Structure 1
């Protein structure tokens, strides 16, 4: 069955992972506003319940299922729940992820494995599980929320970047293979966005210093993008079945530069790494963002993260330590 490149989303059934907060919550909201029926999932049941109430208050046709997507039966549970609630699945948004910040010397093999389980193997299992249903319905859409880090690996984010590199390759390969089935795959490569993710990220090594650079850079207006605008662009790209979407002007420039001058990009990253916290791994490992902020206790950093802190409150980011 063939599909136009741009058809309406109203009435489609969608599954969005990592949808209790941040970008995932906003994508679910945007899909619902376009008339989709949406099942949202996340690990934290309390956080997910708040998100469900927020979306229902806007009139969304929404269901919620608390689920750790890395579990061996999670993909089957989620696809079955979506089908039971809405009669099928037309849109799969693989958004769930975790951000680990710190030098490679402060990371463990477990950190890298956890990142791969969450951001590569779990999306892979969901796609494989959803494909038969999508084929039976004559097509569908898969939206992969990768990252600029899946094209250009930034220092002090290696577990995240490695998993996103793998996810980007998977998404691009799926795009080529599934086109014959009428299933489109859109790979999204966001740069920095003001989602409040600095509060949920985990910091290792010199945790307070790592928090400072990450929190500030992820919230500055010239470097980062408004998350609601990003969610609208992502849903629009899925609607139009675009193969790839790069978000933020800085990210677009970086991707172009890396494409024509990869050695120059590598040199720039090397220089950037020298500006980041140095030394041994330090005493801290896997410190939550809010805890790192309290330990830092910097009024200057707090002023520079005002927009991102505001986003954290608006988009249901965790408020506990």
Structure 2
């Protein structure tokens, strides 16, 4: 209903969504198409893109195309955007959403996890932004760029430190680009979602005490009140980009955490330290990471009950949001 009531100002425009084959990216592409915007969804996995293309709902007249592209490769990003502009006659809106999630204590991750997160999340957003800006400046409608950060980039999350560091860099990039791109008629929106029910726990990678890490993360990510309906999040994000908002923080919990951290950073750091005591302890420093979909049910009864109780809503949407292979 929210999409039907939105302004039709995206009609006939061309959009690109990186990380668009599943989860939030797929829903953002769907929301753009619902507002009569031609869409290119970008991801690394061709099979996943094929399933996404089948799942994506499109009203009459809207064109949807897929593009296999690794956003960590600037040359590949440049080629993808050139092909998209050629196919659609230009590019008017870009959402940089691609990323990875690694869940483990820092002792069970190592520097390589930080490098991987920065490559996928920050460099992916950076390369997409730099290569997209020339096209966005030429948009007759005035270009729009959105970078998907996270509340984890505003307030560092324990056992998610590579993700938090990379998302913090994305937030700084969005704010700086907003100031510098304005003279070229391009608006830049920093998007900081809190927890959303996208089924992302199945593609997050877990280290250390993997079963317990998976249990707490999947439970929290799917918990009502704490997490947000992903379709509603996509609607709000696209509306913010459409209205050229500078920044949006999603979920009341995320907004409250960001405000409290801004006012009393020492207090929030102490509270985070206390909360960390409830999380699994580091193991022997093993660095192996496994996707949630490959872990299976936790063996420990408490972890099993926690995961089943909290992640039921997240599990329910996983298939619809292309988080599970057919």
TM bucket (normalised to shorter chain) is over 0.9
**TM-score (ref. length: structure 2):** 0.92
- How many Å separate the matches in 2 of 1:179 and 1:282? 46
Contact 1:7 1:239 in 2 (8 A): no
Match of 1:3 in 2: none
Give the match for residue 219 of structure 1: 222
Unaligned stretches of 5+ residues in structure 1: 1-5
Residue 36 of structure 2 corresponds to residue 66 of structure 1: no
Residue 292, structure 1, aligned to residue 295, structure 2: yes
Aligned-partner Cα distance in 2 for 1:308–1:58:
27
Partner residue in 1 for 2:3: none
C-alpha contact 1:16 1:28 (8 A) present in aligned 2: yes
1:17 aligns with 2:23: no
Q: Are 1:103 and 1:281, in contact at CA under 8 Å, matched by a contact in 2? A: no
Q: CA deviation at 1:91?
A: 0.5
- Hey, what's the Cα distance between the residues in 1 that align with 2:113 and 2:273? 23
1:208 matched to which residue of 2? 211
Asked if 1 retains the 8 angstrom alpha-carbon contact of 2:108 and 2:286, the reply is: no
Contact 2:36 2:59 (C-alpha < 8 Å) held by counterparts: no
1:245 maps to: 248
Q: Secondary structure of 2:192's match?
A: strand
User: Shift in Å at residue 80 of structure 1?
Assistant: 1.0
Flag the 1:282–1:211 CA change in 2: closer, same or farther, 3 A. farther
CA distance in 1, matches of 2:285, 2:296: 17
Q: Does 1:31 align with 2:32?
A: yes
| Partner Cα distance (2:139, 2:265) in 1 | 42
Task: Tell me how far 1:110 sits from its aligned partner.
Answer: 1.6
Offset of residue 89 of structure 1 = 0.6
Relative to structure 1, is the Cα distance of residues 281 and 89 closer, same or farther in structure 2, using a 3 angstrom cutoff? farther
Alignment of 1:185 onto 2:188? yes
State the alpha-carbon separation in 1 of the partners of residues 28 and 68 from structure 2: 18
Q: Deviations over 1:175-223 (max 9, x none)?
A: 0111111100000100000000100100011111100100000000110
Question: 1:144 & 1:281 partners in 2: Cα distance?
Answer: 36
Count of aligned positions? 315
1:127-166 correspondence to structure 2 within 5 Å: 127-138=129-140, 139-166=142-169
Residue 136 of structure 1 and its aligned partner are, at CA, apart by 2.3
Q: 2:89 is matched with which residue: 81, 87, 90?
A: 87
Return 165-174 or 137-146, whichever deviates more.
Answer: 137-146
- Alpha-carbon contact 2:34-2:58 (below 8 Å) kept: no
Moved over 3 A (4+): 56-60, 281-284, 293-297
Checking the alignment, whether the CA contact within 8 Å between 1:206 and 1:282 is kept in structure 2 is no
Separation in 2, partners of 1:295, 1:157: 20
SS in 2 for 1:73: helix
SS of aligned partner of 2:51: helix
RMSD: 1.7
Distance verdict in 2 for CA 1:101–1:61, change over 3 Å: same
